[in-house]
Amino acid sequence: MSNGIVKKIAGTFSLLVLLLIKGYPQNTDIDFVRLMFYNVENLFDIYDDTLTDDEEFLPGGLRRWNYKRYSSKINSLYKTIIAAGEWQPPAIVAFCEIENRKVLEDLIYKTNLSKYKYDIIHEDSPDERGIDVALIYRKEQVRVIGYSYLKTMAVTGTDFRTRDILFTSFLINNDTIHLFVNHWPSRRGGVLAGQPQRMKIAALVREKIDSLNSKSHGKAKIIVTGDFNAATDDEVMSILTEKTGQNRSFMQNLSESLPPGSGTYRYKGTWEIIDQVIVSDQLLNKRAAIFTDHDKLRIFSPGFLLKKDLNYPGLSPNSTYYGYRYQGGYSDHLPVLLDLMLR
């Protein structure tokens, strides 16, 4: 074998090693951690839960949900998470519309996400359909201090069963970050449908925010994200951002700064930003050890997450279902990404 061929083989091998190293989790020299929120559109398993109304998503149900479709969806979500992290998947991925812990276990243990050492935070909510909010996190990048679920039935009443709110405190580079993950009642039946309940849930979240700020003398680093089923200028969102009293940190809705005409969800041909990120002003201090800014938030919209709208001009999210018709896409929402910069 000639020296030239040997050098080419050695060079190719070195390049492959370099690519493999870059493709695996690294604990050193990271200058940011990435947070992702994603409404994954009805991530159900194929088994009947007798305590919830999940019959639609069974092999014999209206949507003919089966193992092949379920497995395809799990792999699609894996692909999205990897792509969102640019081959280093996000440190924290928050979800809504997941049925149970099992679907998250299948996602992080039965795909190549297994090599990134994700762990799960999940509890069942009282939602009638059995869909919950949850998150996964990379244990080598962030550490969980504790978590709890804010019980929505405490404010909505037992006759209105919706998703509880996940509240988690993380330690990131010796800084404590408080994260709220939301999925507020839908607007099915019109924009005002569910509005009284959304107002009550917003007040519940705000009460917890104010408690955190009071204990920290206004220095709490807080992120509120989720599917709020409300536009950024909706009255209900102002409950989270209004400034009241002393030692009450001003919360800023970063999603208000996203480009006009953009959106995470498309309804009758119009893009809406209902998946949002709100942060406390303590996280906007660029001199701090951990911080973010308006330009660190973006809607993740690669081509594979979009599809030509069948009824209106333009593109819409490449959803799993269009009505009751299976089309094998990803979700009817687009994810949002927020980078937290580290000094």
Q: Quick one: pLDDT band at residue 226, thresholds 50, 70, 90? A: very high
Number of structural domains found in the chain: 1
Measured in whole angstroms, the distance separating CA 193 from the mean position of its chain's CA atoms is 24
pLDDT: which is higher, 31 or 16: 31
Helices 101-109 and 67-84 meet at what angle, rounded to 10?
A: 60
For residue 99, pLDDT over 70 is answered with: yes
pLDDT interval class at 159 (50, 70, 90): confident
| Burial state string for 169-200 with b = 16 or more CB within 10 A and e = fewer than 16 | bbebeebbbbbbbbbbbebeeeeeebbebbbb
Q: Which pLDDT belongs to residue 187? A: 73
Question: By the 8 A CB rule, do 170 and 143 touch?
Answer: yes
Contact predicate 334/297, CB 8 Å: no
- Choose the weakest-confidence range: 30-34, 193-197, 212-216, 329-333: 193-197
Residue range 252-280, pLDDT digits in tens:
999 999 999 999 999 999 999 999 999 99
Q: Which domain holds residue 329?
A: 3-342
| Mean pLDDT (whole number) for 1-28 | 40
Confidence category of residue 193, pLDDT binned at 50, 70, 90: low
Q: What is the pTM of this model?
A: 0.89
Question: What are the residues whose beta carbons fall under 8 Å from the beta carbon of 331, sequence distance 6 or more?
Answer: 38, 39, 40, 41, 305, 317, 318, 319, 320
CATH code of the domain in which 43 resides: 3.60.10.10
Instruction: Report the pLDDT value the prediction gives residue 21, as an integer from 0 to 100.
Output: 36
Looking at residue 188, its pLDDT comes to: 63
What is the rounded average pLDDT of the residues 58-72? 97
Long-range interactions of 217-221: CB distance < 8 A, separation 24+: 217/247, 218/246, 218/247, 218/248, 218/249, 218/282, 219/249, 219/282, 220/178, 220/249, 220/280, 220/282, 221/175, 221/176, 221/177, 221/178, 221/280, 221/282, 221/283, 221/290
**What is the rounded average pLDDT of the residues 111-140?**
96
Average pLDDT over residues 118-125: 97
What integer pLDDT is reported at residue 62 of this predicted model?
A: 95
pLDDT at position 138, please? Answer: 98
Give CA–CA dist 174/27, Å, rounded: 15
Q: Is the pLDDT of residue 6 over 50?
A: no
Rounded to whole angstroms, the Cα distance separating 255 from 227 reads 12
- List, edge to edge, every strand of the sheet that includes 175-183: 143-150, 165-172, 175-183, 222-227, 275-280, 251-253
What integer pLDDT is reported at residue 157 of this predicted model?
87
Looking at residue 232, its pLDDT comes to 97
